[in-house]
Structure 1
């Protein structure tokens, strides 16, 4: 039986970027397929009464150091985005379009590369168009798709479903019904996937 892991994410989260890079390696080792679950992190925060780490100055200062440390340790290209906090609504709507087109892997790569390796502002339509074109997408097609009511509603619905499942931040992963939160819990994710192999 094929194994899958549900991966809840938003491009606003550098921790999700780090997690995805490592999760792909884990999935290769364990024969697991990633089931991508785009959501709006701000909507999840609101639904759960949570707040962004940036709102706690001492925590944010530590997180900035920890992100840089994590990127260096794992050899992941990273820069603290000077436009943070930027809107990801259109980029996340585009992720839902990419899923429907079976192009989500390359789409995620393009968006995370732009946001957290190149420090670009994904809230800018011009940046989004440039990023899409450089990644081999037809930007006109994507930009038209994300204006469609069904795509807009799909992102609202996916965010609501994430919160209803108990998601309170990003990245969040589910192996079966077990929830794992944070890019620093991937060892536990791999253990759960390996246990499935040995079961």
Structure 2
């Protein structure tokens, strides 16, 4: 059944590797004929619960962080993605993630997600600011006022919390992740494996 082959893409706007994956996943799924579901969630609560930290592991471990920044330069060059190291890392991502929750099922959602990632990791803009998100929405021909109002509603706040709790229940410990047919594929470099798993006859 088609529903069984759906690929969930779990992402966080503050995540560097989510940027690389999010810029590629929709086109890859479309080419393969795999239905895609965007799953925004918050990494912060998972890091606190699982690692006891309130920061990115890349900041907590500077050696790992140094590698990550260079790796991102290589990956962006490989995939032809614009790249500018953000002046602040990680940036607060609650509001844009809530907007992504509010946009569930909307035809502009994928473009919005990619626009926010570009704002953070290619333009070094503060994605926590409503004005930045409004610019992204307006660039897509979407009236930002009702979307931003919905994003701060109790229903959408609860939806993001529920996504984060579901991520923890799935065993997610970082981002991005692809989940399909009961399997978890961690990292943007496992995206092709996830799509193949979604398509394989079993």
TM-score between both structures, scaled by the size of structure 1: 0.90
Aligned to 1:172: 177
Shift of 1:142: 1.6
Instruction: Write out per-residue CA displacement over residues 126-178 of structure 1, whole angstroms, 9 at most, x where no aligned residue.
Output: 22222222232211112211221111111111101110111111001112111
CA distance in 2, matches of 1:150, 1:186: 31
1:37-186 alignment, distance < 5 Å = 37-49=39-51, 52=56, 53-186=58-191
Does the aligned pair in 2 maintain the 1:83–1:120 contact within 8 Å?
A: no
CA distance in 2, matches of 1:28, 1:102: 14
Does the aligned pair in 2 maintain the 1:30–1:193 contact within 8 Å?
A: no
CA distance in 2, matches of 1:118, 1:171: 21
Tell me whether 137-146 or 98-107 shows the greater mean CA deviation.
Answer: 98-107
Shift of 1:100: 4.7
Relative distance call for 1:55 and 1:30 in structure 2 (3 A) is same
Does the aligned pair in 1 maintain the 2:115–2:136 contact within 8 Å?
A: yes
Instruction: Write out per-residue CA displacement over residues 25-81 of structure 1, whole angstroms, 9 at most, x where no aligned residue.
Output: 331332101111110111222232365222110000010000000000111122211
Aligned to 1:13: 15
Q: Gapped runs of 5+ residues in structure 2? A: none
Over the aligned positions, Cα root-mean-square deviation in angstroms equals 1.8
TM-score between both structures, scaled by the size of structure 2: 0.89
Shift of 1:190: 3.5
CA distance in 1, matches of 2:51, 2:77: 32
Shift of 1:83: 2.6
Q: Gapped runs of 5+ residues in structure 1? A: none
Does the aligned pair in 1 maintain the 2:103–2:109 contact within 8 Å?
A: yes
CA distance in 1, matches of 2:69, 2:191: 20
Task: Provide the secondary structure at the position in 1 that maps to 2:35.
Answer: strand
CA distance in 2, matches of 1:83, 1:133: 25
Shift of 1:102: 4.4
Tell me whether 139-148 or 47-56 shows the greater mean CA deviation.
Answer: 47-56
Aligned to 1:4: 6
Number of aligned positions between the proteins: 197
Instruction: Write out per-residue CA displacement over residues 81-121 of structure 1, whole angstroms, 9 at most, x where no aligned residue.
Output: 11322111010000011105443212212211211221211
